[in-house]
Amino acid sequence: MDEKFQYRRLPAVPKSIIDINPEKDVRIRILGRMRIRILGRIIDKQDGTIVIDDGTSTAQIITDAGLIDAGQTDAKGVIRSGAVRSCETNDFVCVFARVLPLEDGYELRGEIVQNRNNMDMDLHRKIYG
């Protein structure tokens, strides 16, 4: 059996900001660190960082500056370094990030930011609780 090796990413676990626990959520594996998914509103945006409020707490997420400051989006509304859309304060977004340990807490490194301004929140609550 000659199978071609393929790299796989860890799934992004949906989390509330208040539930992020660096000791549990930072699992050093061969495949990398824990990836999380946060759904919230952008309350502040500066060079290379966005601050998200998900209703439980706030979190600063470090991203590629081009990821949040450029001006295009792909067909699904995904903001990436290759296909990006400008994020503005008060936009409702879904952020996929890695949890990186620090001496006094953790750091969130954003990988993907999706605009969810048109999301049906009633349906989301019905599905995810």
Q: Containing domain of residue 83, as a range?
A: 12-128
Q: Quick check: is 94 in a domain?
A: yes
Q: Quick check: is 33 in a domain?
A: yes
pLDDT at 69 over 50: no
Task: Tell me the pLDDT band of 84, cut-offs 50, 70 and 90.
Answer: very low
Q: Quick check: is 7 in a domain?
A: no
Q: Quick check: is 5 in a domain?
A: no
Task: Please count the other Cβ atoms lying within 10 Å of the Cβ belonging to residue 105.
Answer: 8
Q: Return the H-helix or E-strand segment holding 96.
A: strand 92-102
What average pLDDT does this structure show over 52-68? 84
Domain count, the chain: 1
Q: Quick check: is 2 in a domain?
A: no
- Confidence (pLDDT) at 63: 87
Contacts of 6 (CB under 8 A, 6+ apart): none
pLDDT at 81 over 50: no
Task: Tell me the pLDDT band of 112, cut-offs 50, 70 and 90.
Answer: confident
For 31, the token pair is 């495949």
CATH number at residue 41: 2.40.50.140
Measuring CA to CA, how many Å separate 107 from each of 33, 90, 92, 116?
12, 22, 21, 23
pLDDT, greater one: 10 or 83? 10
For 87, the token pair is 């994020």
